[in-house]
A and B are shown apart, each in its own frame.
Chain A
Amino acid sequence: MKRKIRIIFMVFCGILFSSKNVYAYLDPGSGSYILQILIGVLLGGALAMKLFWSNIKLFFKNLFCREKKQ
């Protein structure tokens, strides 16, 4: 399993990175920086889905509440 993860990781990295250095007083760690960019795509998508889903729930909740009031 660990080997598979490593291969997937290397492929992602090969696709994604080119130039530009990072400066900060705190060493963010190259590995941590790169991982964020990788998983950020997934986690951002997940957040978008979460927000979308909560909006749908809110829409129906408001709809039913309105019907009840009427």
Chain B
Amino acid sequence: MKGAGIHGKVAGSFRDPSGFLFYKDGELYRQVNACYKEQNVHFMRSGLYSYLVDRGMLISHKECDIGMRQSEEAYTVIKPELLPFISYPYEWCFSQLKTAALLTIKIQKAALEFGMSLKDCSAYNIQFRNGKAILIDTLSFEIYQKGKPWVAYRQFCQHFLAPLALMQHRDIRLSQLLRVHIDGIPLDLASALLPFYTWFLPSLLFHIHIHAKSQQYFSTRSVKVGSRSMSRLALLGLIDSLESTTKQLKWEPGRTEWANYYEDTNYSLSAFENKKRIVATFLEQAGSRCVWDIAANVGIFSQIAADKGMSVLSFDIDPACVERHYRNCLERDEIRILPLLLDVANPSPGIGWQNCERMSLFERRQADTALALALVHHLSISHNLPFENIAYFFSRICHFLIIEFVPKEDSQAQRLLRNRDDIFSDYTQLAFERDFQKFFMIEEFRNVEDSQRVIYLMRRKDS
């Protein structure tokens, strides 16, 4: 049970008193509390739920017997559609975060048409299913009260606008601030980090810079929001402005070490084709449904798995690679691959309250098969990771492992050793096999034609 906390409650589901997620007999349910009854009835009867579900904007659910309830506060219990994998905003590339932001705005606009409004808009409420962004929190809506400003405006700016603006205008890697700040990037921090010229961009001036000043100014003052309310037109104007601001934010992946990896590789064409065939054969032998491609680059090998009908999570450390891969998937309408940003040497930890609100990589669904191609030499030589540690890592995330051994004589390994002392006397194929066999059984291995590399198919010992 992923992320289960006290009494089966999902550990990250405690902020909203409207209800919570819980596990029972291994299945995921959501309890809706009596305090949310009026909102929930309106949500279902107004047609908003059907409108959003029919358009693939909201996760669907089934009503369950009230006997499933976890406490007396329950009004009803629902069973939401289960997603195969939960990803987090700090694992998304620029376009994924932007897509999530635009979906949130689209949902808010639709909600207003049905007399409701989003009462929160956490980026964590958005997930990717079959290549498309989808809202997973059914309890995010409240009945719109005439004149009431948007309660989630600050959250939208912190969760979406601030990171996107920082990624475009300062550095793409600043998306990782979301890993530190679980409720989005504080606007004063975003304002301080953004370049001076962004003060002259009206959208960012209002939504980030003045917004940050406003928060700072009123943080020490007792304020009562006045009888002067916000008209519906003003609210729509604000939402329209947030939408156009988000649309204007753009980032183009430039040339990076990894995004152009295949252009600089030492493979011959025949070696590369042979490698693809070996991987395809091993994938079939493993017979997996869920594949994790670790260090997927722009997803050439992920595609082989996807073409076999497998669902693939493609991880890479380089934001440019993930961005290109995501765009390629969109262009090709490839729904079986989800590219995500991940540093294998520093994978996503558990964060938030008790480090349990957002799950670590290891707490989420495991892979049937992991692909680790052209990776071991980087982990071993660049990160000084012993083979045993690498093998242990893989034994925690997959049952089958398709892994490529790159010998020290290989030009790519030599490149890593170029400017450092070779302290890796144990970096040999023999040592590699010895250490991996502590956790895996070697099912088969094949030499890649026209190269010194070897690809192994391994099975975890307890599988």
Contact = CB atoms under 8 A, between A and B. Distances in A.
Contacts, number: 138
A36 interface: yes
B238 A39 contact: yes
Label chain A's interface by main secondary structure: helix
A25 B18 CA distance: 9
Interface in B193-228: 199, 206, 209-211, 213-219, 221, 223-228
B234 interface: yes
B223 A17 contact: yes
Given A20-B225, A30-B219, A33-B225, 5 more contacts: A5-B210, A26-B15, A29-B218, A47-B236, A47-B237
Contacts of A61: none
B223 A30 contact: yes
Interface string B223-254: 11111111101111110110000000000000
A24 B402 CA distance: 50
A37 interface: yes
A41 to B, nearest CB: 6
Interface residues of B, number: 44
A5 B237 contact: no
A29 to B, nearest CB: 4
19 contacts: A5-B213, A17-B226, A20-B224, A20-B226, A26-B155, A30-B219, A30-B223, A32-B154, A34-B214, A36-B234, A37-B230, A39-B206, A39-B238, A40-B149, A40-B230, A40-B237, A41-B234, A46-B241, A47-B240
Interface residues of A, number: 38
B120 interface: yes
B237 A37 contact: no
A45 B241 CA distance: 11
A29 B199 contact: no
Q: Which of B16, B210, B211, B236 has the most CB of A within 10 A?
A: B210
Contacts of B215: 29-32
Interface in A1-18: 1-2, 5-6, 9-10, 16-18
A34 B218 contact: yes
B52 to A, nearest CB: 20
Nearest to A1: B199
B431 interface: no
Nearest to B224: A19
Interface in B134-150: 149-150
B237 A17 contact: no
B227 A40 contact: no
Contacts of B150: 36
A44 B209 CA distance: 20
Given A32-B154, A41-B234, A44-B231, A17 B217 contact: no
A44 to B, nearest CB: 4
Contact of B213 (A6, A29, A45): A6
